[in-house]
Amino acid sequence: MPTALYPGTFDPITFGHIDIAVRAANIFSRVIAVIADNTTKNPLFSVNERLEMARDALAHVPTIEVIAYRGLIANCLEERKATAIIRGLRALSDFEYEFQMAFTNRNINEDAETVFLMPSAKYTYLNSTMVKQIAKFGGDVSGFVPEHVAQRLVGKYRQQNGL
């Protein structure tokens, strides 16, 4: 039963992330969405908040599990006995970084294969940073994230602004 890891910060999870996870679940018998606990980034949401939002967003796909992980994804691959790392490519600009990461992961773990998936065309431009900026300035993000995530974004920015 081939298992794939789908790592990311997911700060927050978007319809683009969900699209890639579902596409991966159609290829692999099991997909583990890995919420990166990366201390070098400054996420808006805590690991537990991101974990909860991702679990809610992906609950409709029984073959997708959501976990948090701190460490190298190549090590997580080995620990979870997965066979591939899923990465979404939105545009050509993503490719160089993702290509470097794929080779780095393979240098750390020679069994680390990376599978690149393209999102639906309507999600090609979508990323979490853009969603957070729209939400921060009071824009409607309902077309980019599930309703429960949109509510969490509104709440988080209200809290930050003391409202």
List residues with catalytic annotation: 17, 41, 90, 128
For the beta sheet containing 3-8, the strands, ordered from the edge strand earlier in sequence to the opposite edge, are 64-69, 30-36, 3-8, 84-88, 113-117
Residue 12 preceded by cis peptide, ω within 30: yes
The C-alpha atoms of residue 112 and residue 128 are separated, in whole angstroms, by 26
**Count of beta carbons in the 10 Å neighbourhood of residue 40:** 5
The string of DSSP letters for 75-141 reads: HHHHHTT--EEEEE--SHHHHHHHHHHHHHHHHH-TT-EEEEEPPPGGGTT--HHHHHHHHHTT---
